Amino acid sequence: MKRIRLLKILCVVFCTVGAVLIGAGIFMQYRASQNGYAGSVISETAEFETPRELVVITTSMPVTAEYGDTDRVIVSYTGSLPLIFTEDKGMLRITQNDTFTMTLFSPKTAESGIHITLPHKVYERISLSSSSGSVTSDCLMADTLEFSTKSGDMRLLGIDERASVRTESGNVYAEFSSFSSDMTVYAGAGDVTLLMPDELSLYLEFFTESGTFTSERFDETYYHEYGDAAVIYNGAKHKLRVNTSSGDLYIY
């Protein structure tokens, strides 16, 4: 009985002190917002000379890159920490260092992301990679195009067979503008959806442990083993390999 009474006393004391502290904190925040405090989330826009190579590496921020009517590279982002920009020998490198970072009570960070607007030209190399953020590219042209994520999804529009696409568990959605050579897509546990050109001739090899293959375009599907599929379509000049562990493949 004494213990229950002690618990009741502790409950009342702790709750009262806690409520007072929360009230004081809310009042302090109200005063700070009256004085113009707008939170510690950063929203910035930076401009750079057009590089030959663009490399973007983020841990959690989604990356979107596209062409725009500009003669300079415009990078606008919202995030918890400033991005690190490095310009060296024609290469623009954008990295996110958010080690030992924590976000508390901040709905604004849900909007975090990098948006890159590039001048129209064929670059030597464009590499976009993110750990948990998504990667979106719209009709980018480069001699070497690299896209990679660990768990982030990819949305790649207007790519061709020169692109390197690799993810561990993110979903891949890719629209091909052309396909004239061999290519391999690694997707791990993520599903792969590919929109191929209509006049395509393709030899497809799909290696998977437990994924499934779905397509309305192919008349015949040859299954090597459980889960694996090989498809020859329309003469088959070029080979597309898709490797997944449990991810499904859809081709339209």
* Distance in angstroms (rounded) separating the CA atoms of residues 57 and 60: 10
**Using CB under 8 A, which of the segments 15-23, 49-57, 123-131, 170-178 binds another protein?**
15-23
Q: Which is nearer to another protein, 107 or 225 (CB)?
A: 107
Interface with another protein in residues 152-211 (CB under 8 A): none
CB atoms inside a 10 Å sphere around CB 134: 18
Is 15 a binder of another protein (CB under 8 A)? yes
Please tell me whether residue 13 adopts helix, strand or coil conformation. Answer: helix
| CA pair distance 249, 215, nearest whole angstrom | 8
Q: For residues 58 and 137, which CB has a smaller minimum distance to another protein in the complex? A: 58
Q: How far is the CB of 103 from another protein (least distance, A)?
A: 5
Selected from 58, 64, 80, 117, the binder of another protein by CB under 8 A is 80
**Residue 163 main-chain phi, psi, to 5 deg:** -70, 140
Among positions 21, 84, 110, 236, the unique one binding another protein when judged by CB under 8 A = 21
**Residue closer to another protein (CB basis): 1 or 122:** 1
Task: Give every CB contact of residue 60 below 8 A, 6+ residues apart in sequence.
Answer: 96, 98, 112, 130, 131, 132, 133
Q: For residue 82, state whether it binds another protein (rule: CB under 8 A).
A: no
Tell me which DSSP letter residue 222 carries.
B
Q: Which of 10, 84, 110, 236 binds another protein (CB under 8 A)?
A: 10
| Residue 1 in contact with another protein, rule: CB under 8 A | no
Which residues are bridge partners to 44 per DSSP?
77
**Contact range with another protein by CB under 8 A, out of 38-46, 60-68, 173-181, 221-229:** 38-46
Which of helix, strand or coil describes residue 165?
A: strand
The verdict on 40 binding another protein (CB under 8 A) reads yes
In the DSSP assignment, the letter for residue 134 is -
User: Does 39 help bind another protein (rule: CB under 8 A)?
Assistant: yes
Pairing mode of beta strands 202-207, 229-233: antiparallel
The encoded tokens of residue 222 equal 């040859």
Binding region for another protein (CB under 8 A) = 4, 7-8, 10-26, 28-29, 32, 37, 39-41, 80-81, 98, 100-109
